Amino acid sequence: MMKSLEGVTDMSSKANHAKTAICGIINVTPDSFSDGGQFFALEQALQQARKLIAEGASMLDIGGESTRPRPGSSYVEIEEEIQRVVPVIKAIRKESDVLISIDTWKSQVAEAALAAGANLVNDITGLMGDEKMAHVVAKARAKVVIMFNPVMARPQHPSSLIFPHFGFEEPFTNEDLADFEQLPVEELMTAFFERALTRANQAGIAQDKIMLDPGIGFGLTKKENLLLLRDLDKLRQQGYPIFLGVSRKRFVINILEENGFEVNPETELGFRNRDTASAHVTSIAARQGIEVVRVHDVASHRMAVEIASAIRLADDAENLDLKQYK
């Protein structure tokens, strides 16, 4: 029987007593930003899926196109992207009922992935990059992650210029873009989500099928990333579950580097430090009851979730004395 997303996306008080779910990342690209494309081959991707599930992932996010800053990433044709992700999804689905997310902004890729066994669409353009995406999600009655994409909302911002172009269309008018340039980041995120949620509603996507992602690391300054993370509670007030990706983000690594920590991923310590720092951010998110975190190293993030969730759910803990739990 297929696992359900209800416990993840239900914003009821009952769901608030659930632990943060962990979504493991599998990049099936030859130019992946964080794992060097090492899971590009089907068998390697399948082995990684088994590993992530064994370590505690309840969801897997499969992506066939890199979103890394330029240079290094390039547009992937629709058919090629489908050929990358669909075999992996079918192979995982053949042996596991784990929840599968397809990381794409292209409606045809999403449609093929959902038909192959994916449960939800993780759209980094927030339904704004392909006008058909919302209708594909609605028709399949799938879940969708709508991400705030500052690169699209502020294409001329210095933090956006290093990223590739996202989307087939220009979803915002020049007047919109001029207005967006003047907005503080939290107001910009609200304006973006208003438009994306309108598109979702018009296509017939039910509210309980939607999760929001604040777009950490996409076209944001270091300060803006930190502000959005600090004020996640404000985003939760919109009434949607939050899907958060902070694993191996450059601004987190920059904080380590500024404070004298080794960050070179070519070294064992530097590689480990990236995930340790990312897990600290996950701990903060889990303490706030964030529904899903998207991560590379499931083991370290699961540990962070367990500790943070125990603190958040302290009222439900057993009142053991020292001898009982020593």
pLDDT, mean of each 10-residue run, the chain (326 residues): 54 62 92 50 91 97 79 76 95 97 97 98 96 97 97 90 82 94 96 97 97 95 95 92 93 94 95 94 95 96 95 88 68
Residue numbers of the domain that contains 182: 6-313
CA 79 – CA 108 distance, rounded (Å): 9
The conformation of residue 38, written as its DSSP 8-state character, comes to T
323 occurs within a structural domain: no
Count of CB atoms situated within 10 Å of the CB of 145: 26
pLDDT confidence of residue 68: 62
For 19, the 3-state DSSP assignment is coil
Cα Dmax for the chain: 67
pLDDT of the residue at 232: 93
Structure tokens at 281: 């951010």
DSSP bridge partners of 144: 121, 210
Beta bridge partners of 147: 213
For residue 215, the domain's CATH number is 3.20.20.20
Does the model's pTM come out above 0.75?
Answer: yes
How far, in Å, CA of 320 to CA of 47, rounded? 40
Q: β-strands 99-103, 120-123: how paired?
A: parallel
The token pair that represents 36 in the structure block: 């060097």
| Spatial separation of the C-alpha atoms in residues 98 and 260, rounded to whole Å | 39
In angstroms, the CA 108 to CA 117 distance is 15
Could you tell me the two tokens for 316?
A: 């439900």
DSSP 8-state symbol, 269: H
What is the rounded distance in angstroms from the CA atom of residue 126 to the CA atom of residue 197? 9
State residue 168's pLDDT score: 85
* DSSP code at position 165: P
Decide if 190 is inside a domain: yes
pLDDT given for residue 11 in this prediction: 44
CA contacts within 13 A on the Cβ side of 148: 29
Structurally, the chain folds into a number of domains equal to 1
Is residue 326 one of the residues assigned to a domain?
no
Which pLDDT belongs to residue 5? 61
- 318 part of a folded domain: no
Please report the pLDDT score of residue 181 as a whole number. Answer: 93
Is residue 320 in some structural domain?
no
pLDDT at 100: 98
Any domain includes 322: no
Q: Which amino acid is at 116?
A: A
* 83 alpha-carbon distance from chain centroid: 22
319 in any annotated domain: no
**What's the CA gap between 297 and 305, in Å, rounded?**
13
Bridge-based pairing state of the strands 59-63 and 21-27 = parallel
Q: What is the pLDDT of residue 39?
A: 53
Establish if 325 belongs to a structural domain: no
